[in-house]
Structure formats: C-alpha cells, structure tokens
Amino acid sequence: MNIHPILLTSLCAVFLGACSLPTAEQRQAIKHGQVIYAKECAQCHGPTGQGAGEASLGLGVAPPDLTLLSAGNDGEFPREFVRRYVLGLVEKDDPEAAMPEFKTVGLRHVYPKGGADGEVLEADFSDLLEYLEKIQK
C-alpha cells in the first residue's frame, strides 16, 4: 500500500494526540481527586492549589503552592514524595507542623462518619495524586 507522506504525518499526529489525552478512567480519577482535594486540602492550600486557603492565615507557615511541585523537581511530578508527605510518612523537621498526617487522621471531611481505610483510602489517595499531577504548571 502506498500512503502519501503528508497523510502519514497527519495520521501520526492524530494518534500521538490521542495517546496524550486522558482516558475516561483517568478523567474520572482526576475528578474524584479534585473532590477529595476540595474537602481535605483546599482550606489551607487554596481552591486551586496555589496557596492562601482561608485556614492558611493563622498557621504561621504559608502552605506551599502545590502547582509548583513538578517545577521544583526537574519538571517531573514527584508522585512518591507527595504520597509519602501527605500520608505523613516523611520525617519532618518540625514536629508541630501544621499539616495533618492523613495516614493518621484519615479523610475525615470526605468520610465524616469514618469507615474509609485500607483499599478505599489507597484508591482515594491515588485519585488525589492524579488530580495534583494534573494541576502542575
């Protein structure tokens, strides 16, 4: 079969474009992660992740801009660091640090009656990380 080079080029572009688009499953994960973010993180890290949430004023430490995590890591989203940090598995210099250790407190705004742990919590954190990766600048 003889394919015209221009047609071939545009076909490739279409395929590459399709590859970088999130799948329905990823879109769902990002959406779910956003809901979790809004309930558990936005009050300090701001509605868009850029800081200055309403609860951040009295903290003494400004919650960092979460859209710059990749920029501070050579352009790559530091997924494992963020996971460990949010869960509270990273050794912190300041034992009085303002941010909750979510492994200990759980997602208490998402599940006010408690009850989400184990696999549910892992899945929720994975979605949260998808969302955080999506908002990187």
Query: What does the binding site for ligand HEC look like in residue numbers (CB under 6 A)?
Result: 40-41, 43-45, 55, 59, 61, 63-64, 66, 82, 85-86, 97-100, 102
Nearer to ligand HEC, 29 or 44 (CB): 44
Minimum CB–partner distance for residue 105 and ligand HEC (Å): 9
Residue ranges of the alpha helices (H) in 5-95?
5-20, 24-40, 42-45, 79-87
Minimum CB–partner distance for residue 104 and ligand HEC (Å): 12
Task: Show Cβ contacts of residue 39 under 8 Å, excluding neighbours closer than 6 positions.
Answer: 107, 109, 110
Nearer to ligand HEC, 22 or 72 (CB): 72
Round to whole Å and give the CA distance between 94 and 101.
13
Answer yes or no: are the C-beta atoms of 106 and 116 closer than 8 Å: yes
Minimum CB–partner distance for residue 75 and ligand HEC (Å): 15
Nearer to ligand HEC, 17 or 118 (CB): 118
